Chains A and B, each alone.
Chain A
């Protein structure tokens, strides 16, 4: 298991979702990806994308404009 970060700040949905999707495609099941973003739409869209594609959202933190979402990669590939 390894931890990774993704900077998806200052881009608008669905781009943060697309960047998350493309980053996860390169990771292994069990890996964790921390995504930083600023579009509030991502608070809904990234967790929805994770639910339908079998990944687990571990945590969502909000600090001013910045949102940090941690995702554990699922095994469905």
Chain B
């Protein structure tokens, strides 16, 4: 019999690392698949902010694949994923994270992938009771069924708590050598990691993407509200990861770089937005998103003054670039007590 082949969903966290390893132990050929939704915590912001420069910029999914010695296929699902985020059939978690629909979608993609590549089954690192909360006893069959994977979906870390799958029934893998982890504790995983000699693995808190982040979700909800429709482009969701977002009026918001790294990043979007910077003092690049009148521009310039080194000066000079035209105005920086807390997104 030829060697059986499985594709493992690799998020970059410990659980998928272990799930793949457990099955490799049983002589199965494993390759990894990783989906890029645009909301992933990987890479991006690490590369943008100055404060992260000291940390090694590693992509955890690639790191996991290298630890395992397996190939990794990274799939761009940005476009198709929009529908998952905008219209989740099963709704959202604590924030705008559509975890259950997301799992169904990704396992469904993996099923298409194994059909196209002649693989036999799919692995995930899911464990009943772990965060994100979508991993429950009653959602496991939903993922298997709605993705169309059915019993080709094996979860090695909790398989013993679930009905037998095809790879077990056919004897491709030995059910006895799978696990029965459940609940929130991470101890069994950490013990297994030690047993395999894995160190320095990533331990994401709560979820694998920005949609589980409260502040991020607030900014996304604000974007939808301001546009009057639930829609986004990749640039929109990238910009939500960067800078301070302040909405002083319902018709516009400002994105203010917090350090040189963010200013450089925002620089790349300059041409698409009205943008402001101070010519008299050091300070951030500010992008303005929305339709504005003269009073709005005055307020934006005064806010910029507040976040520049001229914050205590009586006046700062601000250059405003709008529709390809440049204008300069001198404004008094907005005093701190005139910046309302609820302007901050």
Taking Cβ atoms with an 8 Å cutoff, the residues of A that contact B are 10, 12-15, 17-18, 21, 39-41, 44-45, 48-49, 51-54
Find chain B residues with CB under 8 A from A10 CB. Answer: 268
Closest residue of A by beta carbon distance from B61: A14
Find chain A residues with CB under 8 A from B119 CB. Answer: none
Taking Cβ atoms with an 8 Å cutoff, the residues of B that contact A are 34, 36, 40, 42-44, 46-48, 56-59, 61-63, 65-66, 69-76, 238, 268
Alpha-carbon gap, A14 to B73, bound state (A) = 12
Alpha-carbon gap, A9 to B306, bound state (A) = 33
| B43-A41 in contact (CB<8A) | yes
Closest residue of B by beta carbon distance from A53: B71
Can you list 15 residue pairs at the A/B interface with Cβ under 8 Å? A13-B42, A13-B47, A14-B42, A14-B59, A14-B61, A14-B74, A17-B74, A18-B74, A21-B74, A39-B47, A40-B47, A48-B62, A52-B66, A52-B70, A52-B72
| A44-B59 in contact (CB<8A) | yes
| B72-A44 in contact (CB<8A) | no
| A12-B238 in contact (CB<8A) | yes
| B74-A51 in contact (CB<8A) | no
Alpha-carbon gap, A13 to B61, bound state (A) = 12
Find chain B residues with CB under 8 A from A39 CB. Answer: 43, 47
Contact of B36 among A14, A41, A44, A54 (CB under 8 A): A14
Contact of A49 among B36, B48, B72, B238 (CB under 8 A): B72
Closest residue of A by beta carbon distance from B64: A52
Alpha-carbon gap, A10 to B265, bound state (A) = 9
Contact of A41 among B59, B66, B69 (CB under 8 A): B59
The 10 nearest A-B residue pairs measured at CB: A13-B43, A41-B47, A48-B62, A41-B57, A45-B59, A41-B43, A52-B65, A12-B44, A18-B74, A18-B76
